[in-house]
Each structure stands twice: as structure tokens, then as C-alpha cells.
Amino acid sequence: VGLPGLAAARFAARVLLTDAEDALLPNLRANAAAVGAAGTVEVAQLNWSTAPRELRERHGGAFDLLLASDLVYSSGCVEGLLGTAAALLRPGGRLRMCYPHGRHGQQAFLEALEGAGWAFAPPARLPPALLEGCAHQGSEEEARAHAFYLLDATRPPGADVAEGEHVEAKVALYRNGFTVNGGPLRALDDPANASFLQDMARGAAPRELGPRGQVSVEMVDKRGEDYDEPGHPSGSAQR
């Protein structure tokens, strides 16, 4: 349980392993400890029906990467999953989800992503050879008969802000970058952060945080010091 996130912990500063079932959380903690990742990995219960603001406050948000596997079982879960992904990822962050062909609700999820402005190419089929030798997939013929796909989608600005919702954000500026709401350090010379910094320079609320008029920003000036980021670069979350 939690293998993709544990693999990501080798490269990330912070990994959040989640499951909807409280009974599985001790397993996640034990697996993290077994591979020596307890210092990097956090474990938490995650419910897709939780409001986006509460998710941001509870889990920190602003993750660079969300790893997911076979999450969509019906069209009824699409709205909650989309809101959860938007709440946990920073603008420009990526959702990478593996899923089997024919899963009910998957097409509805792709259509919801497109309607919300997420950028993604048609999901790519994984090479069947990746599944060969996996006992739970059966024979080589069975592995080839069951197609799996990989979705790689990028979160757009303001994707988790509902109409009329007010957003409060704290931006801390350091000599070597900046953070948003206590999230990971973002580089000043990263092109992905250019529009954010341009908005701040104009004295405007960055558009990636939400629609104009719905965002209040508190700026903390720490440009006289470097941000001391623990661990390794980047961040990751897994469901």
C-alpha cells in the first residue's frame, strides 16, 4: 500500500500518502517506516467530498505532483475528485493517474477536466510489457488484453475557487524564492512563476490564486534571508 508515493519520497521534500479508509493508515505509516521514509512521508485520511478550502487548510495544498491509481469507479465521484485535485495541487501542478480501460465514469472525468480548463493530451496506453510477470494480472495474454492508460493533466490557475468564495493567501518572499501558504519554495527564475511575480510587482493579487476581487494576499518580506528547505526538492501527494 502506498508504493508510488514511497518511490516518490526518494526525490521529494514532502510526500502525503492518503486513503479514504482509516483502517489502512497504519499500514501506510508502517510501509513508510520500513523503507526509511518516515521523516519525509506524512499519512492522512482523505475524503473527496471535503470542501476545497478545508482541504487546503488541512493538508497545505500547493503540491507539485498528485499520483493517483484507478480512482474513478462511477460518474458520481467526478465532481469531488476534480475539486480535491485542484485543492491539493498548485497552479501548474500535475495530476498523473493510471487507470484501466472501460472504467465507468472515466470519460466523464476527462470531460470535467477539459471543461475546467485543465491541460492534457489524450491519455497514453501503457506498454503491456509493464504488466507481464505481475501475478495479479494473470498470463501474458491476459495482461495484453487489459489495457491501462496514463493521464497527465496540468492544473490551471484558480481551478479550486468557487464563484463568490473569498481566498486568503500568505506569500513569503525570500532571497532565493517564495512560498505560498507555507508550501514548497518556488524559484524566482522559474518561468512557471513569472505571471505570479508580475502580478505581485503590480500590487495585484496573483491570478493563479483565484478571480480578482476574491483574493486577499498577506505578504511577508524575508528577502534578507534564504529559505531553508528541508529534504530534497519538489513535493508530491498520492491517493
The percent of the chain in helix, strand and coil, each rounded to the nearest 5, is 35, 25, 40
User: What is the reported pLDDT for 62?
Assistant: 72
Name, in order, each residue with C-beta under 8 angstroms of 236's C-beta and a sequence gap of 6 or more.
5, 8, 9, 12, 14, 15, 16, 63, 64, 65, 66, 67
pLDDT at position 71, please? 87
Parallel, antiparallel or unpaired: strands 236-238 and 15-19: parallel
pLDDT of 123 reads 93
pTM of full prediction above 0.85: no
pLDDT value of position 147: 85
Q: C-alpha angle 206/211/217, rounded to 5°?
A: 45
Q: Minimal CA–CA distance to 89: which of 155, 41, 17, 30? A: 155
Say whether 185 sits in a helix, a strand or coil.
coil
Q: Which three cell numbers stand for residue 48?
A: 473527496
Query: Rounded to whole angstroms, how far apart are CA atoms 87 and 105?
Result: 21
| CA triple 170-173-178, angle to 5 deg | 85
For the chain, residues with pLDDT lower than 50 are 232-236
Residues constituting the chain: 239
